[in-house]
Structure 1
Amino acid sequence: MAKLYFRYGAMNSGKSTALLQAAYNYEERGQRVLLAKPRIDTKGAGQISSRLGMTRPVDFLIGADDDARGLFAEHQARIRYTHDELAGLSSGPAEVSCLLVDEAQFLTASQVDDLFRVAVLDDIPVLAYGIRTDFRTEAFPGSRRLMDVAHALEELKTICRCGRKALFNGRLVDGHFVFDGDQVAIDGAEVTYESLCGECYLRESGGRLAS
């Protein structure tokens, strides 16, 4: 039986880079993959973009009300159809070997359940990458559900500016840390993020751990 994996870490822990590397590893062995991410993640538009400069288009975007398993099935069928049409030109496998999902924290709980069904009922491994908590140290709904149901959890580590292991994601607006606001605010001209250890987070927040 295939499994649902949740690979999580603080900002700048290399999640998107690891996803693109995983896709490359599958394809290097002649296997096909599908890449997806939530539509709400407007950074990079329809691409997965790592901070090392690597980019790759996603195969589909998942809207807030979408059935993630249904979208996967549609694109899996497209790959099969394309393979059948080119049967005389290509001997590669028609089946999808893996579904990779970036920014999985932005999924809804029901969409995470869809990913679980893809793994268990469709027997396709699903690798979901994302951050665990927001800038207020509160879990994203998608991350919380992944922690509940994923078969395997893997932490991707990064370091704080002080050299300790980073746990949290501090939000800066115009260069100043803020600890109130909407849970989702994608990087922009004014909004940036910094990975912080527990001590540095508490120092910047004045001892606060949640709003």
Structure 2
Amino acid sequence: MAQLYYRYSTMNAGKSIEVIKVAYNYEERGKRVLALVPGIDNRYGKGKITSRVGLSREATIVNENTNILEIFMRENDRKTIDCVVIDECQFLKRHHVEELVEIVDSFNIPVLAYGLKNDFKNELFEGSYYMLIYADKIEEIKTICWCGRKATMVARVIDGKFVKSGEQIMVGGNDMYVSLCRKHYNEGRIGPKE
């Protein structure tokens, strides 16, 4: 029986490379994958899932008003879809997550969604909130803080300074975000000399 998987972590844990790996494993076995990525994340170009290690693959863009279920049904009518993967699922809206649930429940197709859980203010993103509610399986992908402890928080850094205010969504990479353990997030320490 198919399930909705939510695999979350902080920045730099290898979520995007996991998405690419899962899609590759399905395709290597002759299966068809529907890969999705929110249009808001255009750091590496629109419609691309890209890992910091340099691997990349094309993906269908999901915007705020996109109906994922309609995309799935259209693509599935052309040729059977065996799996749906999505990167940066924290940027999804509630209706997107509910559409993913419908794919799992009505079509018995596994959906694997990867993304952040909490933002730089340590609050849930809308997509993360609904993934936590609806997912059948919730798994953490672990990474570490600069001190070696498990990183569970994401700090926003602007001009080298730790900030805790501003818009929830500002797309960026290593230039703007640092993964920290709870202790160093609470202390505002983004490195050993801070």
**Cα deviation code 1:98-121 (max 9, x no counterpart):** 000000000001110110110111
Letter of the structure 1 residue corresponding to residue 112 of structure 2: L
Q: In structure 2, do the counterparts of structure 1 residues 188 and 137 end up closer, same or farther at CA, with 3 Å as the change threshold?
A: closer
CA distance in 2 between partners of 1:107 and 1:14 (Å): 19
**Cα deviation code 1:109-165 (max 9, x no counterpart):** 111011011011111100000000000000001001000010001100000000000
Letter of the structure 1 residue corresponding to residue 26 of structure 2: Y
Residue 192 of structure 2 is matched in structure 1 by none
**TM-score (normalised: structure 1):** 0.86
Letter of the structure 2 residue corresponding to residue 67 of structure 1: N
The CA RMSD measured in Å over matched residues stands at: 1.4
Letter of the structure 1 residue corresponding to residue 55 of structure 2: M
Q: 4+ runs of 1 displaced by more than 6 Å?
A: none
Residue 134 of structure 1 is matched in structure 2 by 119
Residue 143 of structure 1 is matched in structure 2 by 128
Residue 185 of structure 2 is matched in structure 1 by 201
CA distance in 2 between partners of 1:23 and 1:17 (Å): 10
Residue 12 of structure 1 is matched in structure 2 by 12
Residue 22 of structure 2 is matched in structure 1 by 22
CA distance in 2 between partners of 1:50 and 1:101 (Å): 13
Shift of 1:175: 1.7
For this pair of structures, how many residues does the alignment match? 188
The answer to whether 1:115 aligns with 2:116 is no
Residue 67 of structure 1 is matched in structure 2 by 67
Letter of the structure 2 residue corresponding to residue 52 of structure 1: V
Shift of 1:188: 6.9
Three-state SS of the structure 2 residue aligned to 1:117 is helix
CA distance in 1 between partners of 2:13 and 2:76 (Å): 30
Residue 37 of structure 2 is matched in structure 1 by 37
**TM-score (normalised: structure 2):** 0.93
What are structure 2's unaligned runs of at least 5 residues? 190-194
Work out which of the two has the higher radius of gyration on C-alpha atoms and give 1 or 2: 1
The answer to whether 1:165 aligns with 2:150 is yes
Residue 52 of structure 1 is matched in structure 2 by 53
